[in-house]
Chain A
Amino acid sequence: MLAQKLHLLRHNVLSFVSSRTGSDLTRRQYDVIVVGGGHAGTEAAAAAARLGAETLLITQKIMTIGALSCNPSLGGVGKGQLVREVDALDGLCGRAGDSAGVHFSILNRSKGPAVWGPRAQLDRERYRQFIQSELLSTPRLTVLEGSVDELLVSQPNPEEPGHHRVTGIRLGNLPQTSHNKLGEFWPIPPDRAGVTESVDGSHPILSSSVVLTTGTFLSGSLFMGQTTSPGGRMGDAQSCAGLSYTLKETLGLRVGRLRTGTPPRIVKESVDLSLAQLQAPDKQPTPFSFLNTHTRCKPEEQLPCYLTHTTPGVERVVRESVHLNCHIQQDAKGPRYCPSIESRVLRFPGRRHQVWLEPEGLTSDLLYPQGLSMTMPPELQLRLLREIPALHRAEIRTPGYGVQYDFVCPTQLTPSLQVKSTQGLFLAGQINGTTGYEEAAAQGLWAGVNAGRTALSLPPMALSRTQSYIGVLIDDLVGRGVTEPYRMFTSRAEFRTYLRPDNADLRLTPRGFEEVGCVTLRRYKKAVSVRDGLQEALMALQSVALSSTRWREKLGNISLSENKSTTLNGLDLLQYKDVSFEMLASAFPECLSQYFEYSQRLKIEAVYRPHCEKQSREMERIRSEESLSLPSDMDYLSLPVSLSQEVREILDRVRPNTLGAATRLPGMTPAGIIHLLNYVLRTGQRNRHTEHRNRSSQKEGEKGQLCASNIPISQ
């Protein structure tokens, strides 16, 4: 029923190119193919489909779409900002978090709203269900269970830079059993029958663009104790070597190797929770999504976390087991901020380390020991756990293990996350050297957007680092590359006081709708009404002006630093620590009380606005640097401008995407930048003139490269 064996004929394929509504049953041509069903892949597929592209998501197991492979949580400091931004661009993870969360808290509550970190513990089952049902109800999105054996590439489009062009993928053979599972798991509504496909044999499927989100599966190997086996996640088939081969050999991409790990899962009943410290969630859960006013989980249904600590015994077990632990003896780079317990103990000996015991879901009988990622042999894992008082009789359900995997050095990508050398090929998630669900989701969304745009013949887009954490993330990746798994921190953002979780909708949603096309009308309307409401409220606040003396009379004992005669308006007053919007609204109910719903946002806006204004010039400068693209096929070695040989070599090696990125290169001279700038500018003007004469719209893409018009979102 589901498996449609099809013999592909070339003329059939061509007929589908022209007919987008052609029967799904026989479709062998898509706009976008997304490989991988993790956080990056699901966001990419959903975003491309939202944009209007016929999209195919290929995953090894449909069952694991939306699976949380590691920690059962979402958000945090820096990461929470990313979730809010993905949501503002109509991505999935924010709403999925609201649906699956079982313990919500805002981290950094005492440190200022710019660095608040919305975070939730998740129910794994609910998260997966939400993501799967979202994908199923997304128009233009087809899901296929299969394994990709090879990328199909051909000659590049000569109008655009690049050495290759991706034309689709070739599927590998699948084990027969997956069909049954598939049928059980994925009920197909009658009107979309055939949307899910499964194919035997080696088949090409063609597309205009491909997004690879293979996570840890690219040449992945699993480590536990002294045993090593190929694979990207325990319990899943290893990925096809063919894909890895295409990337490295056919496309000549540089790859590096990174490692990560996951802790053992512990049987809840076996833990003595009375010996751990209870960590309660926020009394009132705050939803991630701008669309939600409340979370699926009721406040009183939330589950607690528990905090405990390592003991000297833990350190002893680690030291005794080092010789039995292949993973930590390897020199692939692991993260500094999410290290295994082994590397923590070895790097900071003689200390107590925190261990969080986190719920895995409402009905799960497991606990997730955050902070105890380990790769020693299972029997030693058990010994180690039992050195912790609360875990003295703990039982392990599945042991922890380590993963080593290849990543593609992300400096080979453009800010739209396309591989520079290969037209139409996009990468997102761990394959780019990042770690974390949120980082993957953010890249996935943006890669999906651009894969969709490419397929629909729209120019690519970049997000500015002055406008979003997603922009910071991508700019850091493609501009600087990675030496260890990259994770988001608020300290990476220069304009942290502007890139706040509270205003992500204002920063991104209108543009997401008007320029990018990845935001639905419903969300857009909501964001616009919030924007207008806030604007009105700010004006109303500014309209109430009194002398400090009069304000003191109205509001009671507040400390105002200005002298008595100074006139202050409501917005000025709201900057004071002790003044809340509610106080002002009760003083002027007639003009302010209607804005009660915005009280928190208004308070935040009032405090941060003066600081953001101070930074606006610096922001504008960075944006103008970012928006000057350097053509990726520029021949720096023979460029007819006066550049030193050293500078030419640096530029040729790194091939920066923008002038902004070029300035950050070590060894680049200011004079070199000026010459480069001048060249790019002249070339851009010449091109524009030619275009004008030819009235040719075909060169639109190239013009975008040269004249920076490809960054509408930042302008």
Chain B
Amino acid sequence: MLPCSWGLWRSAIHTLKTFRASPSARGLCIPTRAVCDAETIFALSSGHGRCGVAVVRVSGPASSMVLRNMAGLTQALPPPRTALLRRITDPQSKELLDRGLVLWFKGPHSFTGEDSAEFHIHGGPAVITAVLQALGSLEGVRPAEAGEFTRRAFHAGKLGLTEVEGLGDLIHAETEAQRRQALRQMDGELGRLYQDWSYRLKRCLAHVEAFIDFSEDELIEDGVLNQVDSSVRQLETEIERHLKDERRGERLRTGVQVVIAGATNAGKSSLLNTLCQRPAAIVSPIAGTTRDIVETSLDIGGFPVLLSDTAGLRDSSDSVEREGVRRARQRVEQADLTLVVVDSTQLPPDPQLVAAFLQEHLSTVLPSPEAGMTAASDRVLLVLNKSDLVPEEQRERTEGELRERPGLPPACFLSCSTSTGLEDFLTVLQSRVKTLCGDPLSGAPSLTQARHRAHLQQSVQALNQYHQYRDQDLALAAEGVRLALTHLGRITGRVGAEEILDIIFRDFCIGK
């Protein structure tokens, strides 16, 4: 599970305690804990995809400063909750970013109960990115963790207890979205880089901790700390260089990730070609034609979609095909939406048996339910391809049968070769993509990047503390490494004390 989402409910716990202590506080809107949240956060709170207006929300004590700096409001702030048309500029370069509406909410009369501001700007990706970057450059302002706005609202007693149930589901959805996002990013150069840093930092910490806990009794080589010194310095240099790199590592894949999966020869590549209206993938009647991922960018109902065709899932002795199958499964796990393609001619002729057949089939294609994806999930669509080869009457009866099965995802009969049923299928697909785009987390690489940058910067700062105290107080120096690892851990996953002890015992002969 991702550490950032843990932060959310942790604080929620805190707040609920506050509730308990003063139930009246909620009704009277007395700001409680939220006031203590010293940091100011921002996030794009409208959905992604092509849209006319994007809303960027800022919350925290520095909100008024943000508004003054970005909207050129040197004098008084606008009256609360009143829209004002302003030029929005970069606070450093004073470059014009956009013209848009700004709103000021004085706490506690805001969603989060804190001082807040909203920027309603034009919806183009360039404008949004520029505004987010400008916000991130301000002192004391950082990108919000997932769900942090809701959390603060919760803190301030703005959410009633009945809404808590809903919050649970919200957090679940956010965690899921983040998990997918993280999987996508961890699978690649950038992910490997972060993992490598995390591994090396863990070793550094383990060696410092070993030196603290055991060097008086054990034969811990004197050089251990010198090694840590140079490893820490090396890490600092690498992270700093990475932060300065304008390219910022590899480009992240953007858009809603839609993956086509299914058994061999079900017509997955044909579906891809049909959807993108060009032969992007090779199709042939030979099972196992597609062996690697074929990716293509699409625009579905105005939303960016990254469509991937994958190798057919079957046990194969061919090592190339096996690798293709492995990649296919991995891709399904990372997907926002999976289109499971089934050859309709393979369906049982008796419509009453079809539901059970499909259920069984889905369980072989989709990852185990622990990964959060079940057949009933709204992240799966069933495509019953080659409908032209099935007798009309059987198709209709099957369709009727499937409509009454709530345990199954929506199923669409379709023929890629005659395009029958394509319209209906596109309607279903479009509504799904739209829902997914409403989730601000499916495919917001610039925000994720900003969050990563913030943590990497804090990590480097913490490592400075190591050098600062190295000769004066090793406990405080170690604190720097601990903190650096905590920040890196918010990207790569939390690291516990036991894990550090494991490294200590693996690397040293601890004998007393």
Known: A117-B216, A490-B212, A669-B172. A663 touches B10 (CB 8 A): yes
Find chain B residues with CB under 8 A from A190 CB: none
Q: A77, A494, A624, A673: which contacts B14 (Cβ < 8 A)?
A: A624
Interface residues of B in 272-301 (CB under 8 A from A): none
Known: A671-B172, A674-B9, A681-B19. A112 touches B475 (CB 8 A): yes
> Once the chains are docked, how many angstroms separate the CA of A336 from the CA of B79?
66
A659 at the interface (CB under 8 A from B): yes
> Once the chains are docked, how many angstroms separate the CA of A337 from the CA of B214?
9
A670–B5 contact, CB under 8 A?
Answer: yes
Give the A-B pair count, Cβ closer than 8 A: 162
B226 at the interface (CB under 8 A from A): no
> Once the chains are docked, how many angstroms separate the CA of A577 from the CA of B473?
9
A671–B168 contact, CB under 8 A?
Answer: yes
What is the predominant secondary structure among interface residues of chain A facing chain B? helix
Q: B161, B164, B479, B511: which contacts A354 (Cβ < 8 A)?
A: B511
Q: Residue-by-residue, is B2-44 near A (CB-CB < 8 Å gives 1, otherwise 0)? A: 0001101111111011011001000000000000100000000
- Which of A18-26, A289-297, A345-353, A521-529 has 4 or more CB atoms under 8 Å from chain B? A345-353
B175–A670 contact, CB under 8 A?
Answer: yes
Known: A112-B474, A352-B219. A492 touches B497 (CB 8 A): yes
Interface residues of A in 14-62 (CB under 8 A from B): none
Question: Which B residue sits closest to A641, measured CB to CB?
Answer: B165
B171–A671 contact, CB under 8 A?
Answer: yes
B476 at the interface (CB under 8 A from A): yes
A642 at the interface (CB under 8 A from B): yes
> Once the chains are docked, how many angstroms separate the CA of A642 from the CA of B1?
19
Q: Residue-by-residue, is A462-493 near B (CB-CB < 8 Å gives 1, otherwise 0)? A: 00000000000000000010000000011110
| A646 CB, nearest partner CB in chain B, Å | 7
Find chain A residues with CB under 8 A from B8 CB: 670
> Once the chains are docked, how many angstroms separate the CA of A490 from the CA of B474?
12
B357 at the interface (CB under 8 A from A): no
A674–B167 contact, CB under 8 A?
Answer: yes
Find chain A residues with CB under 8 A from B171 CB: 670-671, 674
Question: Which A residue sits closest to B213, measured CB to CB?
Answer: A489
Interface residues of B in 375-402 (CB under 8 A from A): none
Find chain A residues with CB under 8 A from B172 CB: 669-671
Find chain B residues with CB under 8 A from A648 CB: none
Find chain A residues with CB under 8 A from B139 CB: none
Find chain A residues with CB under 8 A from B479 CB: 496-497, 611
B509 at the interface (CB under 8 A from A): yes
Find chain A residues with CB under 8 A from B20 CB: 681, 684-685, 707
Q: Residue-by-residue, is B214-235 near A (CB-CB < 8 Å gives 1, otherwise 0)? A: 1111110000000000000000
| A628 CB, nearest partner CB in chain B, Å | 6
Question: Which B residue sits closest to A108, measured CB to CB?
Answer: B216
Find chain B residues with CB under 8 A from A347 CB: 509
B510 at the interface (CB under 8 A from A): yes
B65 at the interface (CB under 8 A from A): no
Find chain A residues with CB under 8 A from B6 CB: 663, 670
| B216 CB, nearest partner CB in chain A, Å | 4
Interface residues of A in 494-535 (CB under 8 A from B): 494, 496-497
| B5 CB, nearest partner CB in chain A, Å | 5
> Once the chains are docked, how many angstroms separate the CA of A371 from the CA of B218?
10
| B483 CB, nearest partner CB in chain A, Å | 9
Interface residues of A in 111-143 (CB under 8 A from B): 111-115, 117
A497–B5 contact, CB under 8 A?
Answer: no
Find chain A residues with CB under 8 A from B12 CB: 674, 677
A111–B13 contact, CB under 8 A?
Answer: no
Q: B13, B215, B475: which contacts A114 (Cβ < 8 A)?
A: B475
> Once the chains are docked, how many angstroms separate the CA of A351 from the CA of B219?
10
B11–A621 contact, CB under 8 A?
Answer: yes
> Once the chains are docked, how many angstroms separate the CA of A496 from the CA of B168?
33
A490–B213 contact, CB under 8 A?
Answer: yes
Q: Residue-by-residue, is A309-342 near B (CB-CB < 8 Å gives 1, otherwise 0)? A: 0000000000000000000000000001111000
Known: A659-B13, A674-B168. A115 touches B475 (CB 8 A): yes
Known: A490-B212, A678-B161, A678-B164. A611 touches B476 (CB 8 A): yes
A675 at the interface (CB under 8 A from B): yes
A77–B510 contact, CB under 8 A?
Answer: no
Q: A336, A353, A494, A707: which contacts B505 (Cβ < 8 A)?
A: A336
Known: A646-B370, A681-B16. A370 touches B512 (CB 8 A): yes
> Once the chains are docked, how many angstroms separate the CA of A572 from the CA of B185?
44
Find chain B residues with CB under 8 A from A628 CB: 13, 17
Known: A678-B168, A707-B20. A344 touches B161 (CB 8 A): no
Q: B14, B167, B219, B476: which contacts A497 (Cβ < 8 A)?
A: B476
B476–A607 contact, CB under 8 A?
Answer: yes
| B268 CB, nearest partner CB in chain A, Å | 31
A371–B511 contact, CB under 8 A?
Answer: yes
| B395 CB, nearest partner CB in chain A, Å | 36
> Once the chains are docked, how many angstroms separate the CA of A78 from the CA of B214?
10
| A63 CB, nearest partner CB in chain B, Å | 29
A267 at the interface (CB under 8 A from B): no
A496–B219 contact, CB under 8 A?
Answer: no
| B437 CB, nearest partner CB in chain A, Å | 22
A625 at the interface (CB under 8 A from B): yes
| A664 CB, nearest partner CB in chain B, Å | 8
Question: Which B residue sits closest to A707, measured CB to CB?
Answer: B20
Residue of A113, A115, A348, A708 with highest tally of chain B CB at under 10 A: A115
A308 at the interface (CB under 8 A from B): no
Q: A111, A489, A707: which contacts B475 (Cβ < 8 A)?
A: A111
> Once the chains are docked, how many angstroms separate the CA of A399 from the CA of B252?
66
B169 at the interface (CB under 8 A from A): yes
Find chain B residues with CB under 8 A from A352 CB: 219
> Once the chains are docked, how many angstroms separate the CA of A427 from the CA of B249?
55
| B467 CB, nearest partner CB in chain A, Å | 14
A111–B212 contact, CB under 8 A?
Answer: yes
A682 at the interface (CB under 8 A from B): yes
Question: Which B residue sits closest to A628, measured CB to CB?
Answer: B13
> Once the chains are docked, how many angstroms separate the CA of A672 from the CA of B167?
11
| B178 CB, nearest partner CB in chain A, Å | 10
> Once the chains are docked, how many angstroms separate the CA of A682 from the CA of B213?
44
Residue of B13, B172, B497, B505 with highest tally of chain A CB at under 10 A: B13
| A221 CB, nearest partner CB in chain B, Å | 24
B10–A621 contact, CB under 8 A?
Answer: yes
A77–B213 contact, CB under 8 A?
Answer: yes
> Once the chains are docked, how many angstroms separate the CA of A347 from the CA of B506?
10
A627 at the interface (CB under 8 A from B): yes
A2 at the interface (CB under 8 A from B): no
B500 at the interface (CB under 8 A from A): yes
| A378 CB, nearest partner CB in chain B, Å | 22
Q: B13, B214, B218, B509: which contacts A625 (Cβ < 8 A)?
A: B13
Find chain A residues with CB under 8 A from B500 CB: 491
B98 at the interface (CB under 8 A from A): no
Find chain A residues with CB under 8 A from B165 CB: 642, 675, 678
Residue of A111, A339, A347, A494 with highest tally of chain B CB at under 10 A: A111
B475–A673 contact, CB under 8 A?
Answer: no
List of 3 A-B pairs having minimum Cβ-Cβ separation, nearest first: A112-B473, A112-B475, A671-B172
* 13 A-B residue pairings within 8 Å (CB atoms): A77-B213, A112-B474, A112-B477, A353-B511, A371-B511, A490-B209, A496-B475, A497-B476, A608-B476, A621-B10, A669-B1, A670-B6, A681-B19
Q: Give the interface of A toward B (CB within 8 A).
A: 76-78, 107-108, 110-115, 117, 336-339, 344, 347-348, 351-354, 356, 370-371, 480, 489-492, 494, 496-497, 577, 607-608, 611, 617, 620-621, 624-625, 627-628, 642, 646, 659, 663, 669-675, 677-678, 681-682, 684-685, 707-708
Q: Give the interface of B toward A (CB within 8 A).
A: 1, 5-6, 8-14, 16-17, 19-20, 23, 36, 161, 164-165, 167-169, 171-172, 175, 209, 211-219, 370, 469, 472-479, 497-498, 500-501, 504-505, 509-512
With A354-B218, A371-B511 known, 13 other A-B pairs at CB within 8 A are A108-B212, A111-B474, A351-B509, A491-B212, A491-B501, A496-B475, A608-B476, A624-B13, A663-B10, A669-B172, A670-B9, A675-B165, A677-B12
